[in-house]
Chains A and B, each alone.
Chain A
Amino acid sequence: MTGVARRVTTLLVVMLFVSAVVFVAIHSLPGDPARLMAGPQAPRSVIDALHARLGLDEPLSAQYVHFLKRALSGDFGLSLRDGTPVGAAIAQRLPYSLLLGGLSYVLAIVIGVPGGTLAAVRVGQWPDHLLMAATLVGASLAGFWVALLGMEIFAVRLHWLPLMGAGDWRHYILPVMVLALMPAALILRMTRTGMRDVLRQDYIRTARAKGLPPAIVLTRHALRNAMVPVVTVICLNLGGLISGAVVTETVFDWPGIGRLLIDAVRYRDYPMIQGITLLSILGVLGANLVAEILIAWLDPRTRGN
């Protein structure tokens, strides 16, 4: 447990460091949100008044101290664009992103793990070649291109699926499939590699030699160990998933945090960019922590240290 505690402390220190870097970076972005709000007709006096109201006239260090104090009590400031609390806006959008990301990971695992196992068992035969070719193509397509073609074909021409936005289950089909494309390919390949390595191990040969049915050998002995690289991919690819979500949410007009981020960058909504960036880093670092713990649990060899 002390290992976990130490890692959590490291995570907090890293977050503090990262928050300062992100704060400075975001506030040195070119652009002026006040001018944007006031519109082109506004005279200087209106802009100055807005600057004062938004707290943008203070020195950067003072703004950071303010931010840190409030952030510790869970207050990430107000959006410059529409005055909503950043925390509330993120909390409201986050479930949409989590559901989309979660479902696409589930789909990726449902395709990737059995697919990878099949490929590993049939190495060098046609199912293996077919699956490998499919993952190669899948990992080579630009997500938004697939999304746009999917929308054109399934929503506009065939009217099978709704076009965009969030709503009932049918709204999830296209975005989940698009977002699952890359992780599915990755997981399939990792499972295949991991499975191949495991199947060559002595203890699997022993299990086979004992006369255990192949299905049992596969699921009970091999799969568990082959899962190590898969868990690693899933957790470490969270950054990739977030990147994918930004694009996918933009195309599908999905009310998640990816689109919130794009809008915030466009309008120079500093507190919002900051909140989302920090949250995504926290998420990624947290996922790494979970990955380490999970791998330790899955793989007895690493348990000793």
Chain B
Amino acid sequence: MIRIMRRHPALCLGAMLCGLALVLGAIGPVVIGGDPSAQDLYHVLQPPSWTHPCGTDAFGRDIFLRLIYGLRLTMYEVVVSTACAAGIGIPLGLFSAMAPSWLDRAIMGLSDMAFAFPGLVLALLIVSLLGPGLFHALLAIAAFSIPIYTRLARNLTHALRHATYIEALQVLGASRARILFRHMLRNIAAPVLVQITLGAGTVVLSAASLSFLGLGAQPPMPEWGTMMSDGRNVLGAAFWPCLFPGLAIALAVIGLNCLGDGLREALDARSEQS
């Protein structure tokens, strides 16, 4: 255990932060209790104190409590957005790699074009089209993350296709689907996992950006990006409504990035050893 920690400090830090987030998000609201939407308009913008560790916001709500409840929303964001992006992107990439070369080129060309498209501009258009709301924002984020997964899955599969053992399997008469799902998917799983972890960090940041522009979560959801966006309206009179949600986002993203980076390094090290 200690050896792992010494060799992969980033991985451990990431795993710790993510684990902490999971635990807090799962049991935090149950243990702490309280209502994250309870307002007290006569005591707004109270600075941090023992009763309110992160102060209160412009409606007199406890920011700490909202951050804890917001963890669940952040997890929801990551799961929905990543599931959509990877769920479409990876099969598309696999298909592209196995498809005839003209189709492969066409799919990859389209995907590169979509990747080049400024993500936020695309998200802006999608959210404006569907109407503001967290779910729509997540769809928009997923939309501009798809090409990343497509490209990754396609390149990995493409490289594997000519690997000796796959060719051997083909000669042995294994079905295409069997090769694809049994062998290829298993082999690309590790790099895809790394990408999902790193992508999750991007999802959190992008969701915060969209909420900051007023296109994300709708009130009174304790969504971190929205909280920070609300906080910016009082910056100068009170720093805590902006500081703490920003810190929470930063910690979550650092955790995810550490985990992803650490995983990649660990995998690289393993492949170098073999």
Contacts A14-B113, A284-B118, A288-B112: A247 and B258 contacting too (C-beta < 8 A)?
no
Q: Which listed segment binds B: A45-53, A90-98, A106-114, A134-142?
A: A134-142
Residue of A nearest to B208 (CB): A142
Q: Are A246 and B116 in contact (CB under 8 A)?
A: no
Question: Least Cβ distance of B44 to chain A in Å?
Answer: 19
Which of A25, A152, A247 touches B125 (beta carbons < 8 Å)?
Answer: A25
- Which residues between 84 and 133 of chain B lie within 8 Å of chain A, taking CB atoms? 112-113, 115-121, 124-125, 128-129, 131
Q: Which listed segment binds A: B30-38, B155-163, B241-249?
A: B241-249
Q: Are A285 and B113 in contact (CB under 8 A)?
A: yes
Question: Least Cβ distance of A119 to chain B in Å?
Answer: 13
For A140-180 the 0/1 string (1 means CB < 8 A from B) is 11111100110110001000000000000000000000000
User: CB of A78 within 8 A of chain B?
Assistant: no
Which of A140, A152, A247 touches B257 (beta carbons < 8 Å)?
Answer: A140
For A255-288 the 0/1 string (1 means CB < 8 A from B) is 0000001100100000000000100110011011
Chain A at the B interface: SS class:
helix
Task: Please measure, in the bound complex, the distance between the C-alpha atom of A260 and the C-alpha atom of B10, giving whole angstroms.
Answer: 40
User: CB of B205 within 8 A of chain A?
Assistant: yes
Q: Are B212 and A247 in contact (CB under 8 A)?
A: yes
User: CB of B193 within 8 A of chain A?
Assistant: no
Which of B113, B121, B225, B257 touches A246 (beta carbons < 8 Å)?
Answer: B121
How many B residues touch A, CB cutoff 8 Å? 37
Task: Please measure, in the bound complex, the distance between the C-alpha atom of A26 and the C-alpha atom of B208, giving whole angstroms.
Answer: 24
Which range contains the number of A residues in contact with the other chain? 35 or more
What residues on A are CB-neighbors of B116 within 8 Å? Answer: 236, 238-239, 281, 284-285, 287-288
Task: Please measure, in the bound complex, the distance between the C-alpha atom of A112 and the C-alpha atom of B143, giving whole angstroms.
Answer: 29
Q: Which listed segment binds A: B68-76, B174-182, B228-236?
A: B228-236
User: CB of B46 within 8 A of chain A?
Assistant: no
Which of A22, A148, A156, A244 touches B232 (beta carbons < 8 Å)?
Answer: A148
Question: Least Cβ distance of B145 to chain A in Å?
Answer: 12
B residues in contact (CB < 8 Å) with A = 10, 112-113, 115-121, 124-125, 128-129, 131, 201, 205, 208-209, 212-213, 225, 228, 232, 235-236, 239, 242-243, 246, 249-250, 253-254, 257-258, 261
Q: List 14 A-B contacts (CB under 8 A).
A: A14-B113, A30-B131, A136-B10, A139-B201, A142-B208, A142-B225, A144-B209, A145-B228, A148-B242, A149-B242, A261-B124, A262-B213, A265-B128, A285-B113
The 5 nearest A-B residue pairs measured at CB: A243-B120, A145-B246, A242-B118, A140-B253, A239-B118
